[in-house]
C-alpha cells in the first residue's frame, strides 16, 4: 500500500476566472436539468460562506493545527445562518428536482434552511437535535445539545447514537419537528 503524504505548507486554494466559473455553472445547470433523480452530497464547503471554517482546506482548522497555527477566525455555530446555497437546495427540493440531501455537517444549517427532515441524511448527526426515544419525536434546538437529558452515560442513547447523548424528556408543550 502506498501512502501519499501532503505537504501542508504548500496547500493552495483554487479560484476560477469569471469565464471559467460561468462555464462550469452552465454545465452543472444542464446536468441538473437532465437528472431524473438528483441526490446532493454536502460537506464543510457549503457552510464556509456562513463563516464556519472547513477542516482540511489550506486555512482549515486541522490544517492550521498541524502547522502549529491558531484556528481560523469564525463565528459561534449558533450564530450561523443558512447560505444562499442552502436556500437554493431547499428551492430545488420543493420543486421536486433534488430528491435527497446527504450532509457531513453537524451545524444544523440544512434543517434551519427549511429543508424537510425526510429529505436529509446527516451522516455525523446534528448538534442541535434532541430526540425522544419513547415517542420518536425530534426537537431542533437553538443551542448545542451535547450531554442531553440522560447525561454522558445514557443507556438509551448508547443504543441509538453511540457517541453522546442526544435525548430529551418528551414535554408536550415543546413543538416537535415535522
Nearest CA-CA partner of 125 in 140, 149, 103: 103
Pairing mode of beta strands 137-140, 129-132:
antiparallel
Say if CB 123 and CB 102 are below 8 A apart: yes
- Residue 107 burial (CB count, 10 A): 22
Is 7 strand, coil or helix? coil
- Which of these is catalytic: 2, 100, 110, 124? 124
Based on the residue annotation, tell me whether 163 is a catalytic residue of this protein.
no
Nearest CA-CA partner of 157 in 131, 178, 136, 124: 131
State how far the Cα of 30 lies from the Cα of 22, in Å rounded to an integer.
12
State how far the Cα of 54 lies from the Cα of 29, in Å rounded to an integer.
25
Q: Which residues are catalytic?
A: 124
Amino acid at each position: 500500500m502506498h501512502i501519499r503524504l501532503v505537504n501542508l505548507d504548500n496547500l493552495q486554494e483554487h479560484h476560477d476566472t469569471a469565464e471559467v466559473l460561468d462555464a462550469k455553472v452552465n454545465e452543472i445547470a444542464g446536468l441538473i436539468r437532465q437528472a431524473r433523480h438528483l441526490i446532493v452530497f454536502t460537506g464543510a464547503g457549503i457552510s464556509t460562506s456562513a463563516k464556519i471554517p472547513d477542516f482540511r482546506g489550506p486555512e482549515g482548522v486541522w490544517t492550521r493545527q498541524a502547522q502549529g497555527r491558531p484556528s481560523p477566525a469564525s463565528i459561534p455555530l449558533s450564530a450561523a445562518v443558512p447560505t444562499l446555497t442552502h436556500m437554493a437546495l431547499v428551492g430545488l427540493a420543493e420543486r421536486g428536482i433534488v430528491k435527497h440531501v446527504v450532509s457531513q455537517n453537524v451545524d444544523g444549517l440544512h434543517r434551519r434552511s427549511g429543508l424537510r427532515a425526510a429529505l436529509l441524511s446527516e451522516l455525523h448527526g446534528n448538534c442541535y437535535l434532541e430526540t425522544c426515544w419513547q415517542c420518536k419525536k425530534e426537537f431542533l434546538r437553538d443551542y448545542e445539545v451535547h450531554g442531553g437529558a440522560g447525561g454522558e452515560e445514557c443507556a438509551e442513547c448508547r443504543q441509538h447514537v453511540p457517541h453522546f447523548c442526544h435525548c430529551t424528556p418528551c414535554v408536550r408543550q415543546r413543538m416537535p419537528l415535522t
